[in-house]
Amino acid sequence: MEMLWDIAFADGVAYEFEAHDLAHRRASWRFDLRQGLAAPGGRRTNATLVRVRRERESMSEAGLRQDGSETRRVTLVTGASGGIGADLARIFARHSHDLALVARSRAKLEALADEIAASGRLRPVVLVFDLIERGAATHIAAALEAAGATPEILVNNAGFGLAGEAAGLDPAQQLAIVDLNIRAVVDITLCFLPAIRAARGKILNVASVAAYFPGGPGMAAYYASKSFILSFSLALSQELRLQGVTVSALCPGYTKTDFQARAGFGPNMDLARLPGSTAMEVAEAGYAGLIAGRREIVPGFLNKLGVSLLPFLPKALILAVISRLQ
């Protein structure tokens, strides 16, 4: 039902309802969206809903909004408040992509948007949402529409992990890993896939070299979530390739960002002593691989070597080594 009313209120257009006609201004539906959308007195007929959807799909393909103005085509980057996500935004901006940035921290997003605008680029659209919340993708779509924007490239970067044995970690936090790293990625991807297909655009999903391992003792939920992202990306790549859509999985190794602090990496953890890439190095490799149309992007020679050797090593040995490092 939420999607129905998002469509009904978009662009301030009054649509036909069974009981009567209601005109809703843009300010009104924005307010309703934040407070929780309430159904108006009448309901739209199925015929009207189909007509509206068809009209909007054709206008989207033509790059037009309801008022006839040109749609702002953007690269939508989630988890853009820091680390790899922020540097991916900088790289895309450097290559003249218009941007929409999503994260929970308004202050960090505004600072990044100001930085990009100061470089002479169009100021990114700032979207403050918590992707763990149900319905976030629908709300982001509504906010983009209000800004006159539609995604032609999607960068699913938001995610986190926790260090520790599964039995000793908070179950709610481990389920939050599943919600953000898996469910939100699928939700956002499916929400914007029609627009990306119409634009013959691209999707970059940030996974990890962890996706190639048989499991991750000490970070079980995180490793499993990244295996899902890699599998999901490869499947989408095959499904969408004949439609002109590129889908790539970025699989970095150990990267020095705030990820480690949030995950609870201790100073004595062996993994933290390994040489790592910078977020900018990973972002540059990710952008280059996406533009080149590569399905899997593994930055760094040692990471590529490790991934290529994994199939030849016993799983018991791999699991023991990971357990020792973490």
Active site residues: 222
Structure tokens at 241: 């390739």
Angle at which helices 136-146 and 2-9 cross, to 10°: 0
Rg (CA), the chain: 21
**Which residues pair with residue 209 across a beta bridge?**
none
Judge contact between 154 and 192, C-beta under 8 A: yes
Task: Say what angle helices 46-61 and 184-199 make with each other, to 10 degrees.
Answer: 60
203, two tokens: 């999707």
Q: Dig out the tokens for 99 from the structure.
A: 């941007």
- In the chain, the N- to C-terminal Cα span, in Å, equals 45
